[in-house]
Amino acid sequence: MAGHKKVKNIGRKSLQWTTLILLAYMVIRLWINPNYIADFEAYCPFGGLQAFASFSVNNSLACSMAETQIFMGILLAIGIILFSKLFCSYICPVGTFTEWLGRIGDRFHVRYQIKGVADRLFRILKYALLFVTVYFTVTSSELFCKEYDPYYAIFTGFGSDVVFWMALTALAITILGAIFIRQFWCKYLCPLGALSNIFTNVIMFAAVMVAYLLLLYFGLKISWVWPLAIITVFGYLLEATRLKGWLFPVFKITRKEQSCINCNICDLACPMGLEIAHVDVIDHIDCHLCGDCIQACPVNNTLQINKKEWRWLPSVATVSLIAIGLFLATTIELPTINMRWGNDRQLATASIFSQSGIKSVKCYGSSVSFANKMKRVPGVLGVETFVKSHKVKVLYDPKKLDEEQIRKSIFTPGKTLLHRPPADIKEIAVVKMGVDKLFDSYDAFYFTQLLRQQKGVFGFSTRFGEPVKATIFFDSSAIQPSGLKQIIEQPTVTYRSRGKTYTKPIRFKVTDATDSLRFIKPQSFISSMFQPYNKIFNKYKTYRAQDLQIYQIAMPQALNPRFRRSMSLLVSHLSTDDFIVRFQTIYKERPYARIYFVRGKTDVEHIYRALTLPKLTVHYRGGKTGEVKNPFQFSEKGLVLKIGSKKTLSSK
């Protein structure tokens, strides 16, 4: 039967090609549109199941995890229980590519199929990888699979989330394994394949989870690692000993023995190399319900699904599950974090304040920063954040706070120096105005871009109000307050960042502008705009005033707010010397840096060399270090100051 005509499975091929075309579209759009952000894990069900596990344990959803992934993962599990591993056969790009690569091995007669004991032993690899992947995802609240996933590595061009050597190794194994061993990645290494087979044995999975939840209910504190370990171990043992599930999936391919002509064409058509021609029910755990065998069978109604002529079922089920997942993802939003620090009595009487449009709440990290900020507000009992809608919910004690006080605590006042006034200007005009929709840090960024592009505007400051109160400093000979209003109320702002041009819609509205102007001296303006920086480290508080000295050096870049974010890098670099204990910036007619050091333990020449090195040594969490380009320039040497009293030593 080697010369039989191969019949194509149109439904399966269509979905495989649709997936690849959509991925190609994302890649092409990424190159064409600089504003487009391609998320190649956005619809990954495996990432979604990991995200759901992380959310269940940590009550938080990292920025790399989203509702779309989670609902795709949940629908994947439901699909496996009902229809088997449809994602693997109809959608997964790795499965598609490895299946196509296998044809190269067949053409040159070098592809083999592992059987017997070796086949069963190799299957443990994917369960080990599943355990490691879920463990590191939950403990870090980030998708660990991104570090090695060959699919993600290829389509992101080995992006920043990818660990190069891990992904390259996985990619090499996937390609070579596909050519020389039938579906090597899918059968033996894919952690999603392991998880899918666990859902095929869903009775075991459910029993372990129910037992774990009951133990927690009765007060036993057991780490989530234990059920994870038990499920992966039992999953492997069940697969290796049985090679089939218990009762599930519900729908299986069946063979009608009376009409079968024993041509074995179905065996040849099976991508997983299963023996179909001599069994009545194909319940092997590697069956993906792809339907290739049904399409290839030359005798109608011999291979069926649950003894019915439902060859259309896998394709329709795949499309339906995807559609349901997308619908749920667009209608239900899960909180990125859901944190409570109030006690049960306080939470029982808590009120909830909600506010949308907080664009600075855009990921897990910014959500945690928001929560940490709100923890410092007396009367706040907890927060929830929703990054997709940029919404926050604040639980608070109504006896201690009201909604206006909460809005004020969320708002961050600021001041921004846009341009140094020219030397010949004698006075600077000042005008105050109320600006609606100028609330969070992203609004302030767009506001900054608007004013930075206007000649004659030197800076601005903001303070809380409804609307926010903005004070703008400008050259009255170049622009008038009415002109500022027109600039602020533009519908869009265009700016450049990292070599790319961006255009963003804005909705600022000047609702309260004063017509009267006042004028100040340029030096007063510069002084008012300066934002001091202060950081203590290396056991600073253990030293007495007489133990320390100060090295003061001119630091013009301390005036530029863009360099403020790099101050922490410089501090990390200076902290390498155990006897440098504090860094601060001050303004006295000009900006200065002050480096506090232990008298007699280090010297100013050493400090000056550390400040002027071309690269800074930066310390990261986990004990890792790295080097970054030094963005600061010190054109003149400084001088040593004495500390007169403990008041001078204060960290405030």
DSSP collapsed to 3 states, 341-395: CCCHHHHHCCEEEEECCCCCCCCHHHHHHHHHHHHCCCCEEEEEEECCCCEEEEE
Answer yes or no: is pLDDT of 3 > 90. Answer: no
- Looking at the DSSP bridge assignments, the partners of residue 515 are none
Clarify whether residues 290 and 374 are in a common domain.
Answer: no
Confirm if 433 and 485 have CB atoms less than 8 A apart.
yes
Clarify whether residues 209 and 293 are in a common domain.
Answer: yes
Residue 328 domain-assigned? no
Cα–Cα dist 49/47, whole Å: 6
171-225 pLDDT, tens digit per residue, is 999 999 999 999 999 999 999 999 999 999 999 999 999 999 999 999 898 999 9
Tell which of 486, 508, 528 closes a domain.
Answer: 528
Residue 481 domain-assigned? yes
Residue 202's identity, in one-letter code, is: V
Answer yes or no: is pLDDT of 652 > 60. Answer: no
148-164 pLDDT, tens digit per residue, is 999 999 998 888 889 99
Instruction: Indicate the pLDDT class of residue 96, thresholds 50, 70 and 90.
Output: very high
Clarify whether residues 190 and 99 are in a common domain.
Answer: yes
Clarify whether residues 506 and 558 are in a common domain.
Answer: no
Clarify whether residues 293 and 344 are in a common domain.
Answer: no
Instruction: Indicate the pLDDT class of residue 451, thresholds 50, 70 and 90.
Output: very high
Domain housing 357? 337-410
Residue 140 domain-assigned? yes
128-140 pLDDT, tens digit per residue, is 999 999 999 988 8
- Report phi then psi at 81, rounded to 5: -65, -35
As for how many domains the chain has, the answer is 4
Clarify whether residues 148 and 29 are in a common domain.
Answer: yes
Clarify whether residues 291 and 428 are in a common domain.
Answer: no
Clarify whether residues 547 and 453 are in a common domain.
Answer: no
Residue 69's SS3 state is: helix
Tell which of 363, 381, 410 closes a domain.
Answer: 410
Residue 61's identity, in one-letter code, is: L
Clarify whether residues 130 and 164 are in a common domain.
Answer: yes
Clarify whether residues 299 and 341 are in a common domain.
Answer: no
Note the pTM of the prediction, 2 decimals. 0.71
Residue 485 domain-assigned? yes
**What is the CATH classification number for the domain harbouring 399?**
3.30.70.100
330-373 pLDDT, tens digit per residue, is 898 888 889 999 999 999 999 999 998 888 888 777 888 899 99
Clarify whether residues 50 and 176 are in a common domain.
Answer: yes
DSSP collapsed to 3 states, 560-592: CHHHHHHHHHHHHHHCCCCCEEEEEEEECCCEE
Instruction: Indicate the pLDDT class of residue 90, thresholds 50, 70 and 90.
Output: very high
Q: Crossing angle, helix 191-200 and helix 45-58, to 10 degrees?
A: 80
Tell which of 410, 440, 455 closes a domain.
Answer: 410
Clarify whether residues 505 and 547 are in a common domain.
Answer: no
Residue-level pLDDT at 232: 97
